[in-house]
Structure 1
Amino acid sequence: MRKLETDRLILSPWTRKDAADLYEYARNPNVGPHAGWKPHADIKESRKIIKTVFQPNRVWAIRDKENGRAIGSIGFDTDKYRPGVNSRELGYSLSEDYWGKGLMTEAATEVIRYGFEEMKLDMICICTGPENKRSQSVIRKCGFTYEGMLRRAYRIYDGTLRDVLCHSLMKEEYYGN
């Protein structure tokens, strides 16, 4: 996994040194629950997430170019709805301090480019909850097509089942064919 860059962001692999930055935004109850994960209880939990979730997978730290701090995460996971298809599921989170500035759209656009141009994916999908309007906005801006809702398809950290809105972007759509 290599470092990626945009006008305002650096996307780079997570390190143990990033635990304080992750904890700073991941403890906020307005961030994690929208994606289905509980706010981090302490920096130890953030260290564990870096080690067990971010580092083994294709998850970049989203860094503010001005100060180098990790302000979010973005990456690919296995597309659990399309086994046998060269597809990945995009996921992301961002510090509330940086909401409303177009940063997630900027990061997602670069990761989508990487997925199609460098990973040679055939499709990228993304799923979000009906209540997560901010994520839906990013999804629309990035050109994804709405596929439909899967009812009670995602169990969140507290055991609640949530509906998910599924979207996809095919390589032909990305390249304009």
Structure 2
Amino acid sequence: MKILETERLRLRPFELGDAEGLYAYAKNPNVGPHAGWKPHADVAESRQIIEDLFMVNQAWVIVQKETGRLVGSIALEPDKRRPEVASRELGYSLAEDCWGQGLMTEAAQEAIRFGFEELKLEIIAICTGPTNERSARVIEKCGFQYEGITRHCYKIYDGSVRDSRCYSLLKSEWEAQR
């Protein structure tokens, strides 16, 4: 995986040694449940998630350049809704103390650029929970178009099933925004 840089951030592949940094923000009950995953119980669980999920799906660690601190994750995962199209689904998480600073929008814009320019994608999708307004704002700032609600489609960590707000961004739309 290629290392990506923005003005304030460095996006690099996850390593098992990132478990403590991931746990530091992923244990927060205000972070994971918005995306449907439970707060991490300990560093060992964070390490397992890095190994089983982030390394397999080629997720990037989001690191603040100024401090060197791991503050989030972002990935372009396989898009299950469009298996026959050059498409990926964007997913991300960010430490709560970094919310409202434009960091996730900055990281997402770079991941989107990489997807369209280097992976030659035709479309990038993203879905979020119906009440995750912070994520919806990032999605809209990045130019995604609202597709609608997929009802009762996403089972979360506690066994309940949620709806998903779905968005997508065509390469041609992204190029027109630039």
Q: Smaller-chain TM-score range?
A: over 0.9
- TM-score, normalised on structure 1? 0.98
What residue in structure 2 maps to residue 84 of structure 1?
84
Distance in 1 between residues matched to 2:83 and 2:19, nearest whole Å: 33
Distance in 1 between residues matched to 2:139 and 2:96, nearest whole Å: 18
What residue in structure 1 maps to residue 127 of structure 2?
127
What residue in structure 2 maps to residue 48 of structure 1?
48
Structure 1 outlier segments of 4+, above 2 Å: none
- Equivalent residue pairs, number: 177
What residue in structure 2 maps to residue 169 of structure 1?
169
Identity, % of aligned positions: 62
Q: Determine if the alignment matches structure 1 residue 117 to structure 2 residue 100.
A: no
C-alpha root-mean-square deviation of aligned residues, in Å?
0.9
Secondary structure at the counterpart of residue 176 of structure 1: helix
| Cα displacement (A) at 1:58 | 2.1
Q: Deviations over 1:90-134 (max 9, x none)?
A: 000000010000000000000000000000000000000110000
Q: Determine if the alignment matches structure 1 residue 3 to structure 2 residue 3.
A: yes
| Cα displacement (A) at 1:30 | 0.3
- TM-score, normalised on structure 2? 0.97
User: Which consecutive unaligned segments of at least 5 residues does structure 2 have?
Assistant: none
User: Which consecutive unaligned segments of at least 5 residues does structure 1 have?
Assistant: none
| Cα displacement (A) at 1:165 | 0.4
Distance in 2 between residues matched to 1:53 and 1:155, nearest whole Å: 17
Secondary structure at the counterpart of residue 138 of structure 2: helix
What residue in structure 2 maps to residue 16 of structure 1?
16
What residue in structure 2 maps to residue 38 of structure 1?
38
| Cα displacement (A) at 1:67 | 1.7
Q: Deviations over 1:109-162 (max 9, x none)?
A: 000000000000000000001100000000000000000001111000111100
Distance in 2 between residues matched to 1:67 and 1:76, nearest whole Å: 25
Secondary structure at the counterpart of residue 105 of structure 2: helix
Q: Determine if the alignment matches structure 1 residue 153 to structure 2 residue 153.
A: yes
Distance in 1 between residues matched to 2:83 and 2:18, nearest whole Å: 33
Distance in 2 between residues matched to 1:10 and 1:113, nearest whole Å: 14
